[in-house]
Structure 1
């Protein structure tokens, strides 16, 4: 009788514990880290490379887009994911080539990045069937 009650308590405890654990959150965190490494760093590097050569911010953005995986990746449909990726990318840009970019250009770049992030979040809508 005591063993059955003990077993039942353990099962109920594990049941409740499974609800507290959030695997989807861990997956998003992992996806964000992967995106930062494969997209954010590369985008910032290519953007700065173009800016240092004297290209406009618009041309630099396009150059960075064409030389990164941002055109091909699919992001989760999560605005915070894109915002966190942008903040990560912006920090690298500010550190590596902040002297070449004005606040207005930074805002335009943010809009560009968010637009491309939205496309990446809805990749199935933009790909031909």
Structure 2
């Protein structure tokens, strides 16, 4: 198992948020939830997160707008980012990856897929951190 991570989850759909947050907490991670992009960005700026899970469509700032801000911060670009997409189209996936997302998961997804990708990205991040 990977060392528990500090994870920020931003999602407008309360049902999806209520699924993702407990699943990640049960896996041992410290999870903070946000219901809109502006809140997510404020939380991210005030504390370190190892991984950020962003819905594509968020109130006040979209997931892509938040992602651009995360990647523009030269001192804190190390956070892994998973985007959640209700469309999952090639163009949407391509846009998110080009903007700096490490992964795009189309909804609906299984809990196991989410846990696996979170663990893999945290493990990759730990390896990169250990080699620098």
TM-score when normalising by structure 2:
0.29
If asked which structure has higher relative contact order (CA below 8 Å, sep 6+), I would say 1
User: Which has the higher Rg, Structure 1 or Structure 2?
Assistant: 1
